[in-house]
Amino acid sequence: MSDIYITFGYSIVGLIILIPTIYHFLKKKRSHKDFYFVVISCSAFLLLAFYLFTISVIDIFNFHQGNFSIAEGNCEIHYFEPSARGEGRYDISIGDLLLSANIDDFSYLKEETISCI
């Protein structure tokens, strides 16, 4: 949960820094040689900060409302080979919860049944 608060904090800092920077360049520095670069790059980071802020607020709200789930039990990891129908994948089942993972992202997984806490 602390990583959500850290993300929330960094997004707030980003918003506090980027909004005045964009405002300053739009109002007073139009003739600056790097005007377009600064405005476009700051706008891209501003969108990222807004996204992180929104996601963090949603996660914090759901956590405090109790809208999250924890799965415990036996983890069954099944490997599906790539075929003509699609790419290969891992299917991980923990009780009633079924997750799917990309082979490239989780190449360290192997097909097994283990205890998950």
Of 3, 47, 57, whose CA–CA distance to 22 is shortest?
47
Quick one: 58 and 78 in the same domain? no
**Which residue type occupies 110?**
K
For tokens 């360049």, what's the residue?
25
- Determine how many CB atoms are found less than 10 A away from the CB of residue 111: 11
Percent of the chain predicted with pLDDT > 90: 36
Q: Kindly tell me if the per-residue pLDDT of 75 is higher than 90.
A: no
For tokens 């003739």, what's the residue?
31
The pLDDT confidence band at residue 6, using thresholds 50, 70 and 90, is very high
Q: What is the pTM of this model?
A: 0.60
Angle between helix 2-28 and helix 35-65 axes, rounded to 10 deg = 150
Q: What is the mean pLDDT of residues 68-87?
A: 77
Quick one: 59 and 96 in the same domain? no
Q: What is the pLDDT of residue 43?
A: 95
Percent of the chain predicted with pLDDT > 70: 97
State both tokens at 96.
């009633």
Give the domain extent around 12: 2-65
Q: Kindly tell me if the per-residue pLDDT of 113 is higher than 90.
A: no
Quick one: 58 and 13 in the same domain? yes
Q: What is the pLDDT of residue 117?
A: 64
Q: Kindly tell me if the per-residue pLDDT of 45 is higher than 70.
A: yes
Q: What is the pLDDT of residue 18?
A: 94
- Cα–Cα distance for residue pair 38/107, rounded to 1 Å: 39
Looking at the structure of the chain, the number of domains it has is: 2
